[in-house]
Amino acid sequence: MNDRADKKTARATADQVAREANVSRVAVSRAFNPNASLKPEKRDRILQIARELNYTPDMAARSLVTGRSHLVGMIVPDVCSPWESQEIDALTTALQAEGFATLLFKAKADFSMDPRLLTYMRGFNPDSVIAFTENILPDVLCGFLDRAVPIYVIYDDVAQFAGAASGTLYDRLLVRQKNGIEQAVALLQGYGARRIAYLGGKAQSLANAERERTLKETLSERGMDAPIVLSGDYTYDTAYQATLDLFRIGDGADAIFAANDVGAFGAIDALRHELGLSVPEDVKVVGFDDIPQAHWKSYNLTTVRIDLDERVRALVRLILMRLRAPDAEPFTETLNTRLIVRGTVG
Amino acid sequence: MNDRADKKTARATADQVAREANVSRVAVSRAFNPNASLKPEKRDRILQIARELNYTPDMAARSLVTGRSHLVGMIVPDVCSPWESQEIDALTTALQAEGFATLLFKAKADFSMDPRLLTYMRGFNPDSVIAFTENILPDVLCGFLDRAVPIYVIYDDVAQFAGAASGTLYDRLLVRQKNGIEQAVALLQGYGARRIAYLGGKAQSLANAERERTLKETLSERGMDAPIVLSGDYTYDTAYQATLDLFRIGDGADAIFAANDVGAFGAIDALRHELGLSVPEDVKVVGFDDIPQAHWKSYNLTTVRIDLDERVRALVRLILMRLRAPDAEPFTETLNTRLIVRGTVG
DNA sequence: TTTGTGATTGAACACGTTTTCATTTTGTGA
DNA sequence: TCACAAAATGAAAACGTGTTCAATCACAAA
């Protein structure tokens, strides 16, 4: 009749383990806390009995008293995006190894941040938050998380730590776009490309801005013309259409530099299947990210790679450090990029 | 000096709100529980003050007393897989709307289930678990979750509810492969295809077995030869290689029926870019899933679609129902498939 | 044996909430 | 005005754990 009685086997509690092992409940707690002082043989016996009873400490109860939830919240607008899903995958793996679980929240499709979502999320008391977003000011996030929760905002591939108390930015995980872009431009120039188009990502994206700036700078340094800038939003369809417009309304280009790989795919398909141009003979294409699909033979994309593993390792290191020492000195790490040469340029 | 004092603003507690509003802490609790008995004007005042103090009920504390964590655990081997990431995205959205948050865990790459992971996960007390996997017996999962936690095991696109207590299967969310496959076979037959190859998915996958069985049945019903069965694992690279083998070592085929879209991409690329065959003129290709990439012009894949939204809605409905009435009658729902005709057949 | 030091132990408290239950207040009809 | 049911309220008891602190134990040195 009673709802609780219905459950065939309720979860074992520390008290039950303690009773079974003839020790106090505190000893059970200590058995699961490696650095607590407990006689080794006693710990072994407790852990043995705990295993028999299928006991695991309740994280909610533990969280209540320690103030640590061992949860890392992730706010993601689009889990399906190849780049983001890769990042979620790698982050979850790395955090899991450190004893943290991923708490996944879906933001609105237009990247706007729903205040109710943040309020709701705060209820779970995440130890840290990673927000994948473009057009949100860190202040908005900080306002909702009033505890000193380290928040990392990932603008495409630039991560910044936003201090909750002050709203100012501290740690930064940057990507040195220069290397990869320079290699790409050199390659394009070597093959005689003159008119270069930049097919942009989301306008508010920090990474997009940095890529555009770096491309302009590099072209200028090499005495080449400034790029034709097309606006985009990182999606296949928009890139496809922008490419059509470039050649039908505009004057075309020798080469297209896309802000991400998916955009490059859209450009390639527009060129080959609708404009009747061939890649790389007529138009050369370079992407950004090196997602798994980039090596698919239909695209075989030459692209600027950001090492995902290195990136995720650095980010996790940052988070753990911040968690351990909330007031540590601001920290900036910069990752390199390099060109992966495949078949869409030469 | 004190670690807690360091945090500029600790999270507001129900007591603080109560004090500020001149009510008891119980009233605050009731204000956040819509069906609790509380004078409307009082509720409004409390909620107002709560908003000012940026107060949100602590989920850990709530979970402790209610026994409901409002967490749904998801065990995922590969977040990057287009099909799975779509499913995670849609499930998270739907569950979030019902007040549940997604707790994401990464399983080993080889799909094997790490017992420690399960033990760890159980500590978070998820209200329900969704496991994306192939080769795990539900019993293994059930053994680790000793509370009556509804577990849904998703074998590719077949979902089954595993009762924790008995280890037997209850609810089932099946996909009627027949419709889509029949339409596809009819189309292939209409274009004169005779030798049909089936490029399989993971051997242990229930969905793969069902697709293979249904394809054989359909071919037989139409008086066509049994398919050449190639083993695969749903990945691009394996499909690519299997297709090469089919034409170089084996005797080739008129048409390839791939167990999923990514496999179909691999087959198409092998045919076009390495075997020098054209699709659909020389060989016709049909996929399964209709992932977003299927409409990319380079592939423009004819494929059997399983409606993701409908599927996720059904699954979430199942989970919520089971949560509300753990002892309700077993429930089976079957979804339909249909062929999306694009350019790789006709 | 005695003393002292450090490791080991458990009782009591704390964490922030919901639930129970007895009490008080409100609203309605005679 | 009175009586009575229904709604509203708060004190106290949970929920399962980590932490504090005083007490106990083990063991080596004197």
- From the list B251, B73, B210, B93, the residue with the least C-alpha distance to A79 is B93
CB of B46 within 8 A of CB of B27?
Answer: yes
- Strand C bases near protein CB (under 7 Å) are 7-12, 14-20
Share of chain B above pLDDT 90, in %: 62
Pick out the nucleotide with least CA–C1' distance to B11: C16
Residue A1 has pLDDT above 50, yes or no: no
Confidence category of residue A37, pLDDT binned at 50, 70, 90: confident
* Torsion angle of C-alpha atoms A173, A179, A185, A188, degrees rounded to 10: -110
Confidence category of residue B307, pLDDT binned at 50, 70, 90: confident
CB of A169 within 8 A of CB of A160?
Answer: yes
pLDDT confidence of residue B73:
94
pLDDT confidence of residue B36:
86
CB contact under 8 A, A63 and B67: no
Residue A11 has pLDDT above 90, yes or no: no
H/E element holding B96? helix B82-97
Alpha-carbon separation of residue A220 from A182, A196, B44 (angstroms): 11, 12, 61
Mean pLDDT computed over A229-255: 96
CB contact under 8 A, A106 and B125: no
B235: contact with A, CB 8 A cutoff: no
Residue B263 has pLDDT above 90, yes or no: yes
Mean pLDDT computed over B268-287: 97
pLDDT confidence of residue A274:
96
Confidence category of residue B325, pLDDT binned at 50, 70, 90: confident
Mean pLDDT computed over A295-316: 92
Share of chain B above pLDDT 70, in %: 88
A4: contact with B, CB 8 A cutoff: yes
Q: For B293, what's the count of Cα atoms within 13 Å in the CB-facing half-sphere?
A: 30
Buried b or exposed e, range B91-106, using 16+ CB within 10 angstroms: bbbbbbeeebbbbbbb
Confidence category of residue A110, pLDDT binned at 50, 70, 90: low
Confidence category of residue B138, pLDDT binned at 50, 70, 90: low
pLDDT confidence of residue A9:
59
**Number of other CB atoms surrounding residue A26 within 10 Å:** 12
pLDDT confidence of residue A159:
74
Query: Integer distance in angstroms from CA A9 to C1' D16?
Result: 17
CB of B206 within 8 A of CB of B158?
Answer: yes
User: Measured on CA atoms in the order A208, A213, A219, A221, is the torsion positive or negative?
Assistant: negative
**Helix, strand, coil percent content, chain B, rounded in steps of 5:** 45, 20, 40
Using an 8 Å CB-CB cutoff, list chain A residues near B98. none
Confidence category of residue A36, pLDDT binned at 50, 70, 90: confident
| A175: DSSP letter | E
Confidence category of residue A227, pLDDT binned at 50, 70, 90: very high
Q: How far apart are CA A230 and CA A245, in angstroms?
A: 9
Mean pLDDT computed over B78-84: 91
Q: For residue A150, give the chain B residue with the closest CA.
A: B7
A174-178, B164-168, B246-250: least confident range: B164-168
Buried b or exposed e, range B321-332, using 16+ CB within 10 angstroms: ebbeebeeeeee
Dmax over CA atoms of chain B, in Å, equals 84
B4: contact with A, CB 8 A cutoff: yes
Residue B136 has pLDDT above 70, yes or no: no
pLDDT confidence of residue B47:
95
CB contact under 8 A, A8 and B148: yes
pLDDT confidence of residue B1:
29
| A227: DSSP letter | P
Joined tokens for residue A88: 């979620």
CB contact under 8 A, A106 and B92: yes
CB contact under 8 A, B79 and A78: no
* Most confident of the ranges A128-142, A162-176, B274-288: B274-288
pLDDT confidence of residue B6:
36
pLDDT confidence of residue A260:
95
Pick out the nucleotide with least CA–C1' distance to B43: D8
Residue B113, SS3 per DSSP: coil
pLDDT confidence of residue B8:
45
Residue B119, SS3 per DSSP: helix
The string of pLDDT tens digits covering residues B156-190 is 667 776 654 454 566 788 889 999 999 999 999 99
Residue A138 has pLDDT above 70, yes or no: no
Q: How far apart are CA A294 and CA A272, in angstroms?
A: 16
> How close, in Å, is residue B301 to chain A by CA atoms?
13
Pick out the nucleotide with least CA–C1' distance to A66: D18
Q: Is the peptide bond prior to B280 cis by the omega test (within 30 degrees of 0)? A: yes
Joined tokens for residue B124: 């978070």
Query: Integer distance in angstroms from CA A62 to C1' D25?
Result: 29
Confidence category of residue A16, pLDDT binned at 50, 70, 90: very high
- From the list A262, A88, A66, the residue with the least C-alpha distance to B105 is A88
Q: How far apart are CA B98 and CA B318, in angstroms?
A: 13
Dmax over CA atoms of chain A, in Å, equals 84
CB contact under 8 A, B9 and A274: no
pLDDT confidence of residue B198:
98
B56: contact with A, CB 8 A cutoff: yes
pLDDT confidence of residue A34:
86
pLDDT confidence of residue B243:
98
Mean pLDDT computed over A285-301: 96
The string of pLDDT tens digits covering residues B34-77 is 888 888 899 999 999 999 998 999 999 999 999 999 999 999 98
Residues 6+ apart with CB under 8 A from A323: A127, A128, A150
